[in-house]
Structure 1
Amino acid sequence: MKKLFILLAGVLMSYGAQAQAPTTPQPGYIYKVEPGLPGKQVYVSGQRPFDGKGRLVGAGDLGVQTRQIFENLKAALGTVGMSLDNVTQVTYHIKDQAGQVSNLANQQISAVGASFFTAGLPKISDVKAIPQIVSDDVLIEVEVIAIK
């Protein structure tokens, strides 16, 4: 079964293309996978609260950092002709040493997300507590899946 899955994945990837789209110089990346199936999927991973010059925005403020990440996501998706309305899944990685996301953190990211997702929040949304992110000042990292 494992060999069949690996073979199937290889076949699908051979029909598609992977490319890194240009984004602003902040950390994080976007790549586009078109596996030859209906609908085009884009995976945006590792979005962090840095501005176009690579400077951290909102040190110590989860709400401000989340807003900056959504601005970055809008720009990244725009490079492949999509918007936040195309997002079907979002995963928030919140820095928390105790391994639990507080109600306040959930409320903050939900409020910011609701202000950016004009077509409604994605049906699949997950919030994960992680002990460490790239820098001590970074409180959140976001990844999304979008389908055109």
Structure 2
Amino acid sequence: MIVVFSMGDCLSATWPSVNRILEGNDGCQWMQRSLLKSAIHAFSKVEGRLSETKLTYRTFSLIIVLIIVGGDMDHQRQLISNGNPMEEIVGFSRAVRVGPYISVGGTAPVDSDGKTVGVGDVYAQTKQCFEIIKAALEQADSGLHDVVRTRVILTEIDNWKAAIEARKEYCRDARPVDTIMAINRFVNPEWLVEIEVDAVVAD
């Protein structure tokens, strides 16, 4: 949603009218309200007390830009599946996209039949995890270039070097932040690693 103010509106706007926008009475979405609050907080340090004075046209011009930015964001929810039968049984998706944000859940090193790929080989298993993740991101109209965070989850922390060597092949260009951790075991004891990924689709 885009809220448009004329110059006259901007010059005559008082704090109560802005407050109605912030409270959502004018149809603003939560992102728009958040942007408005941030802009007003920043300008209050320069413009003085907003509750007692009229907002300037310059102030409202910037706020309108922020409203437009927030209003253009797509917050539809898209569920990404790779055909794993456990998705229906357990109730999960391989990935979920909301607007520009994509989360890829813990991805195990399995093939299309659910069999473990690279039994006993952390490097091979990590590569398989990323291949599944890559496909999920592409299905969400994204790609590895949009990845901002990876989580490498191992059953043995001493295997981190092999896992990271495989990770580098998929993350060298994007260079996302990373977390490496170890747990006791996964559901399938053949799995030595799982990977989680977060991505943001840039404009």
Q: CA RMSD in A?
A: 1.9
Q: CA deviation at 1:24?
A: 4.0
Structure 2: gaps of 5 or more residues? 1-29, 32-73, 87-92
Contact 1:50 1:57 in 2 (8 A): yes
Give the paired residue count. Answer: 124
> Comparing both structures, which one devotes a greater share of its residues to strand?
1
Greater RCO (Cα-Cα under 8 Å, separation 6 or more): 1
In structure 2, the CA distance between the partners of 1:70 and 1:108, relative to structure 1 (3 Å rule), is same
- The code of the aligned residue for 2:98 comes to V
* DSSP 3-state at the match of 1:49: coil
Contact 1:26 1:50 in 2 (8 A): no
Task: Report the equivalent of 1:8.
Answer: none
Task: Report the equivalent of 2:76.
Answer: 17
Q: CA deviation at 1:22?
A: 2.7
Contact 2:144 2:174 in 1 (8 A): no
Task: Report the equivalent of 1:113.
Answer: 167
In structure 2, the CA distance between the partners of 1:31 and 1:143, relative to structure 1 (3 Å rule), is same
Normalising by the residue count of structure 2, what TM-score does the alignment of the two structures yield? 0.56
Residues in 2 aligned to 1:26 and 1:51: alpha-carbon distance in whole angstroms: 12
Residues in 1 aligned to 2:85 and 2:183: alpha-carbon distance in whole angstroms: 21
Normalising by the residue count of structure 1, what TM-score does the alignment of the two structures yield? 0.76
> Comparing both structures, which one devotes a greater share of its residues to helix?
2
Q: CA deviation at 1:26?
A: 7.4
Q: CA deviation at 1:82?
A: 1.0
Task: Report the equivalent of 2:52.
Answer: none
Residues in 1 aligned to 2:196 and 2:85: alpha-carbon distance in whole angstroms: 14
Residues in 1 aligned to 2:168 and 2:85: alpha-carbon distance in whole angstroms: 24
